[in-house]
């Protein structure tokens, strides 16, 4: 839980009043906790998504298991769902609160980021394919707000990298 609180404070962006929600939730038991990875290519033109049977195209991610930190969970889910084993960027991309199922209470989700070449082979879970989508295109998801959030984050990441390379 301490890692989730630290990463929530470090996240580049906050959505849905997540930091205040987290402070309140810390007073009670909080489960589940979710983690995902926003994977972009080195040209900052694509995002890697997986096809969830109910949620549509979403970033690779899932539930943080007991005793597991959210960063480790994000890396594990990325490996399980896409076959990618890569280093996550040091600063979390975002923190948000959402309901993943109608019968679940709101869940804190931490979004991490990674930059991976599109030529790296993908594998993953059966019946849950992974695919690259152009950031300027749409994709079907039960979380339509993710499109703009991910696009804006990748644009900022690209701008930061461009300034850093000068």
Give the whole-angstrom CA distance, residue 45 versus residue 16: 26
| Each residue's pLDDT expressed in tens, for the chain with a length of 166 residues | 678 778 888 888 888 888 777 777 777 666 678 999 999 999 999 999 999 988 899 999 999 999 999 999 999 999 999 999 999 999 999 999 887 767 767 888 999 999 999 999 999 788 899 999 999 999 999 888 999 999 999 999 999 988 866 5
Q: In CATH terms, is domain 2-164 a member of 3.40.640.10?
A: no
3-class state of residue 40 by DSSP: strand
What pTM does this model have? 0.85
Question: According to the model, what pLDDT value does residue 54 have?
Answer: 87
Question: According to the model, what pLDDT value does residue 28 have?
Answer: 65
Tell me the backbone φ, ψ of residue 24, rounded to 5 degrees. -70, -45
Question: According to the model, what pLDDT value does residue 111 have?
Answer: 97
Give the whole-angstrom CA distance, residue 145 versus residue 138: 11
Question: According to the model, what pLDDT value does residue 46 have?
Answer: 98
Strands 33-40 and 13-14: unpaired
> How many whole angstroms from its chain centre is CA 10?
14
Distances (CA, A) of 146 to 30, 60, 139, 162: 23, 13, 10, 24
94 in Cβ contact with 13 (< 8 Å) = yes
Tokens for 64, please give them.
């943080």
Q: DSSP string of 48-100?
A: EEEEETTTEEE-SEEEPPTT--HHHHHHHHHHHHH----PPPSS--EEEEE-S
> How many whole angstroms from its chain centre is CA 71?
10
């Amino acid at each position: 839980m301490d890692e989730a609180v630290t990463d929530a404070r470090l996240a580049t962006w906050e959505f849905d009043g997540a930091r205040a929600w987290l402070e309140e939730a810390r007073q009670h038991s909080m489960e589940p906790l979710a983690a995902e990875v926003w994977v972009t290519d080195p040209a900052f033109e694509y995002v890697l998504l997986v096809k969830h049977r109910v949620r549509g195209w979403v970033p690779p991610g899932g539930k943080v298991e007991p005793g597991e930190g959210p960063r480790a969970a994000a890396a594990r889910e990325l490996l399980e769902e896409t076959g990618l084993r890569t280093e996550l960027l040091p600063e979390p991309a975002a923190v948000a609160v959402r309901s993943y199922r109608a019968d679940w209470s709101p869940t804190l989700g931490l979004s991490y980021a990674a930059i991976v070449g599109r030529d790296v082979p993908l594998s993953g879970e059966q019946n849950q394919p992974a695919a690259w989508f152009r950031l300027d295109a749409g994709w079907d998801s039960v979380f339509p707000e993710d499109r703009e959030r991910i696009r804006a984050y990748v644009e900022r990441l690209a701008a930061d990298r461009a300034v850093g390379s000068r």
